[in-house]
Amino acid sequence: MARMAEAVAPQSEGMGMPDKIRGKDYLSKSLFIRGLQCHKSLYLHKYHPEFKDEVTEEQESKFQIGRDVGEYAQEIFPGGVEIPYDGLSLTEQLDMTRKEMEKGTCVLYEAAFSYDGVFIKVDILRKHRGKWEIYEVKGATSLKDHYLHDVAVQYYVMNGLGIPVSKAFLVHLNNQYERQGEIDPHGLFTLVDLTETVSGMQGDVKEEIVNMRRMLGKGEPDVDIGPHCSDPYDCDFMGHCWKHIPEDSVFSLTGRGVDKFALYRDGIVNLKDVPPHLLSGSQRIQLECYLEQKDVIDKDAVKAFIESLRYPLCFLDFETTLWVPIPLFDGTRPYQQVPFQFSLHRKKSRTAKLEHYEYLGAPNEDPRKGFIENLLKVVPEDACVLVYNAVFEKRVLGAVKSWFPEYEDEINGIMDNIVDLMTPFRNKSVYYWKMEGSYSIKYVLPALVPAMGYDALEISDGQMASNAWLDSWAMENEEERAALRNDLLAYCEMDTLAMVKVVEALIRLTSIS
């Protein structure tokens, strides 16, 4: 303990921060992981943070996931003392950690340590039988190779300080856990013992730290773009490092086929310069339509698709929770998508008036029963149910069937009659060059129906919808909550109205001479 206390105590005056933490050689666990992915990203973070991309709503959701999961993981070993980030300098966090350990505190959350100029925070630190155990918490549902480095660098710092570490674990979500009543943290998480693996990585950790510091002392490294820009994490300097890539580039190609980075390394950057013979069939269509600014319409295929529809015809879309790690309701699992909203446009015959029905679950309530009961009321028996991306809708309905087996026959009836509006666009029976290779409804709609779009909506995608519905739970201002619910209803209605208009456009295409 004396060696540990000496190592984490403030070593200089001024800002009250150890020299190696304050200086250019300072690394943290997150910086170490960043440097493993890309030296240039580490350099830019240290010296040019102003080049970072703006944080997206999806990234904010993932950050929140980490916080939520971390809090629940602490309940595996309750009653510990947290070393907070907010309100404390790094030195104060180190000092607080040292004092708690000297007092005999056996469980610490976010414990802070520094060794060899590397600062770490241990998600959960537990003393067991006189030695310490490291628990690194992740919001994923399985062990991923790159998580080993998170644990290994913590083991490196602790071992360097002379703190006896007997075990090092990764804690991840158990995707087979099904909530029943209060959350059971021991069932919610899976603990993976990585002690032997990370112990064997210590030489590599030391070598990588040396390499990173050598790089930081030489100036910005010459690292070109590549798959590492998004593997294992999306880099937050993409806008800076990719600024030389034109809008219509080889990376605009969608789908499987050619290795786009291989083309880039061969000097083929612009989409117009891509050799067509290297591409898959769908990619060749995309390239050809782009070069000639033409559209491709297989009239016979479109006609066959339209003739596969029948009346009554329902246009159906769901909204579900997304990126929710902690199950909200009984019978649900981590990240399982729970439907809370639907929109349905219905036509009883070709000439009948278009009808609209909708459902949106109330905040702070389980929406599933209301969802299925209201849906079954408005979908006629043996109706043709048109959706956009049948895989998603069928998966959601399959989950609903497991929750409410009493409605199994009715749900099976809907699932058996689902037709996927995505089909003619996915197989490129209809392809407009302005779709940029995508068959998402967000690209299909403005191409076929230029007067319609999502730009004027406050909510414009599924992640925003999920966030908005969950945000409404905490709202106390009823006017704000009502406005948010109206935005949700408007977005979901747009999805099904868009499908109506797309089908009308396809019908018009079948009459092209």
Spatial distance between the Cα atoms of 338 and 369, rounded to a whole number of angstroms: 11
Q: Name which of 124, 130, 32, 9 is nearest 77 in CA terms.
A: 124
Strands 430-431 and 418-420: unpaired
Query: What pLDDT does residue 9 have?
Result: 34
Per-residue pLDDT in tens (0 to 9) along the chain, 513 residues: 333 333 333 333 222 344 455 567 899 999 999 999 999 999 999 999 999 999 987 788 888 888 999 999 999 999 999 999 999 999 999 999 999 999 999 999 999 999 999 999 999 999 999 999 999 999 999 999 999 999 999 999 999 999 999 999 999 999 999 999 999 999 999 999 999 999 999 999 999 999 999 999 999 999 999 999 999 999 999 999 999 999 999 999 998 889 999 999 999 999 999 999 999 999 999 999 999 999 999 999 999 999 999 999 999 999 999 999 999 999 999 999 999 999 999 999 989 999 999 999 999 999 999 999 999 999 999 999 999 999 999 999 999 999 999 999 999 999 999 999 999 999 999 999 999 999 999 999 999 999 999 999 999 999 999 999 999 999 999 999 999 999 999 999 999 999 999 999 999 998 754
Q: How far is CA 111 from CA 89, 93, 94, 143, 245, in A?
A: 13, 8, 8, 23, 43
In this structure, the number of other CB atoms found within 10 A of the CB of residue 155 comes to 23
In the chain, what are the domain boundaries?
Answer: 2-216, 246-294, 300-509
Spatial distance between the Cα atoms of 142 and 456, rounded to a whole number of angstroms: 39
Q: Name which of 257, 324, 310 is nearest 285 in CA terms.
A: 257
Spatial distance between the Cα atoms of 380 and 235, rounded to a whole number of angstroms: 48
Helix (H) or strand (E) holding 185: helix 185-188
Tokens of 256: 């499987």
pTM, to two decimals: 0.91
In this structure, the number of other CB atoms found within 10 A of the CB of residue 265 comes to 12
**Contact between 297 and 509 (Cβ < 8 Å):** yes
Give burial (CB, 10 Å; 0-12/13-18/19+) of 2: exposed
Residue 92's SS3 state is: helix
Amino acid, res. 100 = E
Spatial distance between the Cα atoms of 224 and 474, rounded to a whole number of angstroms: 45
DSSP string, 316-371: EEEEE--S--S--STT--TT---EEEEEEEEESSTTSPPEEEEEEPPTTS--HHHH
Angle (CA) 244-245-248 rounded to 5° is 145
Amino acid, res. 395 = R
End-to-end CA distance of the chain: 86
DSSP string, 393-451: HHHHHHHHHHH-GGGHHHHHHHHHTEEETTHHHHTTSEE-GGGTT---HHHHHHHH-TT
Q: Name which of 325, 319, 357 is nearest 338 in CA terms.
A: 319
Spatial distance between the Cα atoms of 464 and 452, rounded to a whole number of angstroms: 20
Q: Name which of 66, 331, 328, 62 is nearest 177 in CA terms.
A: 331
> Can you tell me which residue has the tokens 């180190």?
94
Give burial (CB, 10 Å; 0-12/13-18/19+) of 102: exposed
Spatial distance between the Cα atoms of 393 and 343, rounded to a whole number of angstroms: 13
Q: How far is CA 419 from CA 8, 360, 398, 405, in A?
A: 63, 24, 16, 23
Query: What pLDDT does residue 259 have?
Result: 95
Tell me, which fold does domain 2-216 have in CATH?
Lambda Exonuclease; Chain A (3.90.320)
> For 300-509, which CATH superfamily applies?
Ribonuclease H-like superfamily/Ribonuclease H (3.30.420.10)
Q: Name which of 277, 457, 476, 455 is nearest 363 in CA terms.
A: 476
Q: How far is CA 179 from CA 211, 281, 322, 326, 405, in A?
A: 46, 46, 17, 9, 18
Angle (CA) 107-109-114 rounded to 5° is 105
Amino acid, res. 367 = P
Q: Name which of 461, 368, 383, 467 is nearest 418 in CA terms.
A: 383
Q: Strand pairing partners for 433?
A: none
> Can you tell me which residue has the tokens 């006017």?
479
* DSSP E strands, 106-238: 107-115, 118-128, 131-137, 165-173, 189-193
Provide Rg for the chain, Cα atoms: 27
